[in-house]
């Protein structure tokens, strides 16, 4: 995590495919909301790890034409079963690394494998750590940082297991993407239950909120995700990284979500209200 003693300024980004499949429209909406970066999960309806080099070049040209940069590759790496061979994820990582190279991105978002129904999650641990270690080693060789996002139904779904991951793998190429809504949907109070242990490893903020009672995803500050406390806590630690809007206000599924331009704007305004109140500048 970047530390600074200057006026707190965070870099605003967002998942463009939550706005529209066309990257030109994605960029236009993000620019209108004050963001000069985009997190790329898919373009033209094609997942980022499935875009060939020619399409990646076309995507990069569209992004650069708007004067924007890429905050992270929003990959699906780690959203798979341990019964799948590790080569499946190593291939997806190679594709994500290619995308990161073309799009000049330092970060790749990833996960820590689906839990198997009926099998104690503790039985996953050794295999998960081995696989994540191999992925981190390959990322380190490429000069890229993997950011693990806590997610429902994966090994790293709650703070204790997320901490286990980052301490066991023990690599500067594996850090954390903090997602408040996902923690809420796992029955966790993000700041109360996990921030003190995990804050030093947080290098990227995924911005969405959720209500504990129903699991419904809502704009930042309208749920039980302790977003205001998260912003204050990161501010006080000198966080100076990316805050990426991932609203999921119209639809959510195992591989992502959708909001549309109107709801995406609503989410951006809600988050900016919280950062303004905390004295954090979004740029």
What is the 3 state secondary structure string of the chain?
A: CCCCCCCCEEEEEEEHHHCCCCHHHHHHHHHHCCCCEEEECEECCEEHHHCCHHHHHHHHHHHHHCCCEEEEEECCCCCCCCCCCHHHHHHHHHHHHHHHHHHCCCEEEECCCECCCCCCHHHHHHHHHHHHHHHHHHHHHCCCEEEEECCCCECCCCHHHHHHHHHHHCCCCEEEEEEHHHHHHCCCCHHHHHHHHHHHHEEEEEECEECCCCCCEECCCCCCCCHHHHHHHHHHCCCCCEEEECCCCCEEECCEEECHHHHHHHHHHHHHHHHHHCCCEEC
Q: Which tops the pLDDT comparison, 141 or 254?
A: 141
pLDDT confidence band for 251 (50 / 70 / 90): low
Q: Is residue 162 part of a domain?
A: yes
Q: Is residue 31 part of a domain?
A: yes
- The pLDDT of residue 216: 94
Average the pLDDT over 32-38 and give the result.
97
Q: Is residue 178 part of a domain?
A: yes
pLDDT tens figures, 147-185: 999 999 999 999 999 999 999 999 999 999 999 999 999
Range of the domain at 248: 9-271
Residue 249 has pLDDT above 70, yes or no: yes
pLDDT tens figures, 92-137: 999 999 999 999 999 999 999 999 999 999 999 999 999 999 999 9
Q: Is residue 217 part of a domain?
A: yes
Q: Is residue 278 part of a domain?
A: no
- The pLDDT of residue 271: 98
CATH, residue 90:
3.20.20.150
Q: Is residue 221 part of a domain?
A: yes
pLDDT tens figures, 214-225: 999 999 999 999
Residue 1 has pLDDT above 90, yes or no: no
Q: Is residue 279 part of a domain?
A: no
Residue 21 has pLDDT above 90, yes or no: yes
pTM for the whole thing? 0.94
pLDDT tens figures, 36-85: 999 999 999 999 999 999 999 999 999 999 999 999 999 999 999 999 99
How many domains does the chain divide into? 1
For the chain, what is the mean pLDDT? 94
Region of residue 25 (left: phi > 0; alpha: psi -120 to 50; beta: else): alpha
Average the pLDDT over 261-276 and give the result.
94
Q: Is residue 1 part of a domain?
A: no
């Amino acid at each position: 995590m970047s530390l600074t003693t200057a006026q707190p300024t965070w870099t605003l980004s967002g998942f463009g495919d939550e706005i529209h499949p066309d990257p030109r429209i994605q960029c236009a909406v993000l620019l209108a909301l004050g963001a000069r970066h985009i997190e790329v999960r898919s373009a033209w309806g094609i997942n980022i790890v499935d875009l060939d080099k020619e399409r990646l070049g076309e995507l990069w040209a569209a992004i650069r034409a708007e004067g924007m940069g890429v905050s992270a590759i929003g990959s699906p790496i780690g959203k798979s079963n341990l019964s799948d061979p590790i080569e499946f994820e190593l291939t997806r990582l190679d594709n994500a690394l290619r995308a990161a190279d073309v799009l000049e991105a330092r970060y790749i978002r990833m996960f820590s494998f689906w839990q198997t129904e009926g099998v104690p999650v503790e039985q996953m641990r050794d295999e998960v750590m081995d696989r994540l270690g191999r992925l981190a080693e390959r990322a380190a060789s490429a000069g890229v940082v993997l950011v693990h996002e806590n997610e429902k139904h994966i090994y790293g779904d709650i703070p204790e297991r997320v901490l286990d991951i980052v301490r066991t793998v023990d690599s500067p190429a594996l850090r954390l993407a903090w997602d408040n809504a996902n923690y809420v949907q796992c029955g966790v109070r993000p700041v109360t239950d996990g921030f003190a242990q995990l804050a030093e490893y947080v290098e990227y903020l995924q911005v969405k909120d959720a209500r504990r009672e129903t699991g419904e995803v809502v704009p930042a500050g309208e749920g039980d995700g302790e977003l205001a406390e998260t912003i204050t806590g990161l501010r006080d630690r000198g966080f100076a990284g990316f805050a990426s809007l991932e609203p999921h206000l119209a639809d959510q599924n195992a591989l992502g979500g959708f909001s549309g331009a109107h709801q995406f704007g609503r989410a951006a305004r809600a988050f900016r209200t919280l950062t303004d109140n905390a004295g954090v500048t979004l740029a």
